[in-house]
């Protein structure tokens, strides 16, 4: 039965390849990064001539950011080993190159076609495959098992929505999950969902969420002060980060409400996808806001009402320069983005009603009084204005968020310890290692 399921999956994958190429072309019209390096997606790239490597896969920007402390820790532990980092998106690729440069070998992950996967593995020769969060590709996992490559899903999460999303390939995905040597789950709830998918409980350890271990440079506080001095340090400033198309109009509506109470307030808006940069700039100006742009003006003018951040990799410094942070992907059913970055910097956090991608983290922040929900732009604007108008509440929310992040740190060290065992070929103990998940 497994052979037939896998054969059917592979056949369908090959038949859909022209559709996938068409989709790449279509996306390339909005983000030209999708036009390049197509050969890598089929396992063709310059041979690195590695004798072995440690391979980490992180699908896009969010996963790359989460993986950074883990990769850095592994590099410190294995200074003589080659490291391979794969992504799927151009923005993820840019992030890998900006953070690691030539310290890692970077290519796109090939499509889940047997020939493409085998070419990729033959070139990079991984001692271990470390896959971030949720990526389960049946052919990749089966071929890794056939070649004796241990697979670890690090920071593993699986929402109810994702579990349902496997649909007709759920049983095959479950069989693929059983190819893993270890699934390092973020929480007991994630562990239970992986078991429901088809993994064995003995494969799973609950090691916590490595996103709590994000590194916050001490210099960020000074950078934030410098930015505020440039546009007026006494001004109320809030940021809407990683926004999607459906959230941008509500965000501007929210800012109009904020301006009604604080006429000198400044909104920093950072669209999630680069292809939205120009559209957001146009939208802000069409709404009548005096708008500055990072790539054009460098910094916001003192009389600007909106500052569009149309660059990548700078979000932390602008969180540090803001008083309050709305984290996008949460007003619509996208699932939300990383709320820990502003929380770690001591910034009150606002989210919409849809935070299933960061469900446990968001609930921790809400329970601690570090975050609030806003169901639409009107309520977002009212909540931002209330927080900005109450310095005591602003400070208490920010301090609570920083305490949550500090309390939950440690997953990177636990994950590295287990990865070392896999790389050394040691047998893992069957008992799961549970850690506290906070309130």
Kindly list the catalytic residues.
63
> What phi and psi values does residue 327 have, to the nearest 5 degrees?
-105, 120
SS (H, E, C) 7-59: HHHHHHHHHHHHHHHHHHHHHHHHCHHHHCCHHHHHCCCCCCCCCCEEEEECC
Q: Specify whether the backbone of 211 is left (phi greater than 0), alpha (psi in -120 to 50) or beta.
A: alpha
3-state secondary structure of 195: helix
Q: Which helix (H) or strand (E) holds 372?
A: strand 371-373
Tokens standing for residue 105:
């070998």
Q: First-to-last CA distance in the chain?
A: 44
A 10 A CB-CB count for 272 gives 19
Q: Are residues 419 and 128 in contact, defined by beta-carbon separation less than 8 angstroms? A: yes
Positive or negative, the CA dihedral 218, 65, 337, 420 is negative
Tell me the pairing of strands 306-308 and 291-293. parallel
Based on its alpha-carbon atoms, the radius of gyration of the chain, rounded to whole angstroms, reads 22
Order of strands across the sheet with 126-132? 105-108, 83-87, 53-57, 126-132, 151-156, 182-185, 204-206
Structure tokens at 364: 């921790």
Beta strands in 166-273 (DSSP E): 182-185, 204-206, 237-243, 266-271
Q: How far apart are the C-alpha atoms of 134 and 157, rounded to whole Å?
A: 6
| Residue 198 Ramachandran class (φ > 0 left, ψ -120 to 50 alpha, else beta) | left
């Amino acid at each position: 039965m497994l052979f037939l399921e896998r054969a059917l999956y592979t056949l369908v994958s090959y038949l859909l390849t022209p559709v996938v190429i068409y989709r790449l072309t279509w996306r390339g019209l909005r983000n030209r990064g999708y036009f390049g390096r197509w050969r890598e997606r089929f396992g063709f790239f310059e041979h690195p001539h590695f004798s072995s490597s440690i391979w980490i896969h992180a699908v896009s920007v969010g996963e790359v950011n989460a993986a950074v402390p883990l990769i850095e820790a592994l590099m410190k532990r294995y200074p003589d080993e080659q490291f391979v980092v794969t992504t799927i998106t151009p923005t993820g690729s840019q992030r890998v190159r900006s953070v690691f440069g030539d310290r890692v070998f970077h290519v796109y992950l090939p499509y889940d076609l047997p020939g493409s996967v085998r070419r990729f593995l033959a070139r990079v020769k991984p001692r271990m495959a470390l896959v971030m969060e949720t990526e389960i590709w049946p052919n990749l996992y089966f071929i890794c098992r056939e070649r004796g490559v241990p697979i670890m899903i690090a920071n593993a999460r699986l929402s109810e929505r994702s579990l349902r999303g496997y649909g007709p390939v759920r049983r095959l995905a479950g069989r693929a999950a059983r190819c893993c040597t270890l699934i390092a789950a973020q929480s007991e709830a994630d562990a239970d969902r992986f078991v429901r998918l088809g993994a064995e409980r003995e494969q799973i350890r609950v090691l916590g969420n490595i996103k709590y271990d994000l590194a916050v440079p001490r210099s960020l506080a000074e950078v934030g002060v410098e930015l505020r001095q440039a546009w007026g340090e006494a001004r109320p400033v809030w940021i809407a980060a990683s926004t999607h198309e459906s959230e941008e109009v509500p965000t501007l509506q929210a800012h109009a409400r904020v301006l009604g109470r604080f006429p000198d307030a400044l909104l920093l808006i950072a669209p999630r996808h680069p292809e939205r940069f120009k559209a957001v700039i146009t939208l802000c100006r069409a709404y009548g806001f005096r708008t500055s742009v990072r790539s054009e003006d460098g910094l916001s003018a003192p009389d600007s009402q909106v500052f569009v951040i149309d660059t990548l990799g700078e979000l932390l410094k602008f969180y540090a320069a803001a008083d309050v942070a709305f984290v996008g992907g949460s007003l619509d059913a996208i699932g939300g983005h990383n709320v820990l970055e502003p929380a770690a910097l001591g910034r009150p956090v606002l989210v919409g009603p849809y935070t299933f991608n960061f469900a446990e983290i968001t609930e921790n922040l809400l329970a601690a009084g570090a975050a609030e929900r806003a169901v639409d732009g009107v309520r977002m604007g009212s909540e931002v204005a209330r927080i900005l108008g109450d310095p005591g509440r602003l400070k208490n929310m920010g301090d609570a968020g920083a305490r949550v992040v500090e309390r939950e740190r440690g997953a990177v060290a636990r994950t590295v310890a287990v990865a070392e065992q896999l790389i050394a070929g040691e047998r893992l103990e069957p008992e799961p290692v549970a850690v506290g998940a906070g309130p």
